[in-house]
Amino acid sequence: MIDKTGMKKGMIALYMGVFGNIALFVFKFSIGIFSGSVALTNDAFHSLSDFLATLVVLFGYKTSLRPADVTHPYGHYKAEPLVALGVALSLVGMSVFLAYNAISNVSSAVEPKSIALLAVLISIVVKECMARYCFGVGGELRSPAIEATAYDHRSDALSSVVAFFGILAAKFGLSFLDPVAGFIIAAMICYYGFKVGKKNVDMLMDRSLEDELLREIREMAMEVPGVLGIHRVRSRQLGGKAALDMHIDVDPNISVIRAHEISHAVQKSLEELDWVRSVLVHVCPYGVKIGEED
């Protein structure tokens, strides 16, 4: 469970996204229409999609913080990757709309007004600051939902960079490059959507941890006095942290109490890792085969 300080940081990051994105949408859309820039108008709709996505993420984040109950004995942690997957799908969907909008405006492109360049520069600075803050908080809290929001902010900042160069090219008489930049923006948004989607689908499908982390788990468990061997180490991700279960081998001649003490020591050792949420240890007699293991 995230402590109150961490919870507050997460909520600040998400509320910043809610209010920041709606403000940027109004700002960029108004100037995009006024200046005649397709790239800036497309960029504005990206901010609108960010606003809607952040609202969904905020709901999922709050849900994930709810404690375990009778109907959800393992907690509500998967609410985070679930809403993060929703963000990914919204990015892909928005990219299709923006690509269509950009292609349909190639033949009717006009030279945008200079104010569009200033609007894009402001957007780049604001969105990159929001992205860096969310990456920091998301990494600290190991929150897939906040990290997805950070990718959302970063994709908006990068798309604004493309919009800037598209508008700049149009100012030099290459007006057709402005809607082309809009199409590139759509492609970038689609890429980030698939990237965020794959990561969170893996979480929802209980993908195992990386081999390096599993090796670290084995090494730490073997350092516990009384552990003679380790096998059948399994892992899955719960809201950015891991749930582990493993079989340890102990001397078959020790008492049940001593075997329990060893398994408890393994559990406590692994739970000290900040990325581990829970550990289940099964004790096996070393060198003795009893039936077939599950």
Per-residue pLDDT tens digits for 186-210 = 888 888 889 888 888 888 888 888 8
d(CA 239, CA 262): 28
Is 43 contained in some domain? Answer: yes
Tokens of 198: 């794959």
The pLDDT of residue 111 is above 90:
no
The pLDDT of residue 107 is above 60:
no
d(CA 237, CA 235): 7
Q: Is 184 in the same domain as 248?
A: no
Domain C-terminal end among 173, 204, 235: 204
Contact 151, 125 (CB under 8 A): no
Which residue in 132, 120, 141 sits closest to 47, CA to CA? 120
d(CA 210, CA 236): 10
Q: Is 233 in the same domain as 199?
A: no
Which CATH number fits the domain that encloses residue 97?
A: 1.20.1510.10
How many separate helices (H) and strands (E) can be counted in the chain? 8, 3
d(CA 6, CA 1): 10
pLDDT at 42: 74
- Number of independent structural domains in the chain: 2
DSSP 247: E
Is 47 contained in some domain? Answer: yes
Q: Is 166 in the same domain as 23?
A: yes
pLDDT at 45: 82
Per-residue pLDDT tens digits for 130-149 = 999 999 998 888 888 888 88
**Least confident residue range of 90-104, 138-152, 203-217:** 90-104
Contact 114, 204 (CB under 8 A): no
Give per-residue burial for 108-140: e unless 16+ CB within 10 Å, then b. Answer: ebebbbeebbebbeebbebbbebbebbbebbee
Rounded to a whole number of angstroms, the distance between the first and last alpha carbons of the chain is 30
Write the DSSP assignment of 64-76 as a string of letters: HTSPP-SS-TT-S
Task: Name residue 253's amino acid.
Answer: N
Domain C-terminal end among 154, 185, 204: 204
Domain C-terminal end among 169, 189, 204: 204
Per-residue pLDDT tens digits for 20-32 = 999 999 998 998 8
The rounded mean pLDDT for the chain is 84
Tokens of 167: 């508008």
Banded model confidence at residue 99, pLDDT cuts 50, 70, 90: confident
d(CA 191, CA 159): 12
Give the range of the structural domain holding residue 63, as residue numbers without chain letter: 4-204
The pLDDT of residue 236 is above 80:
yes
Q: Is 82 in the same domain as 154?
A: yes
Alpha carbon 259 to chain centroid, angstroms: 40
Contact 17, 54 (CB under 8 A): yes
Q: Is 95 in the same domain as 138?
A: yes
pLDDT at 3: 60
The pLDDT of residue 170 is above 80:
no
Alpha carbon 161 to chain centroid, angstroms: 22
Q: Is the pTM here over 0.85, yes or no?
A: no
Q: Is 197 in the same domain as 218?
A: no
Task: Name residue 159's amino acid.
Answer: S
Which residue in 238, 244, 251 sits closest to 285, CA to CA? 251
Which CATH number fits the domain that encloses residue 232?
A: 3.30.70.1350
Q: Is 134 in the same domain as 74?
A: yes
Q: Is 248 in the same domain as 216?
A: yes
pLDDT at 264: 95
Q: Is 14 in the same domain as 102?
A: yes
Give me the residue label for tokens 């893996």: 202
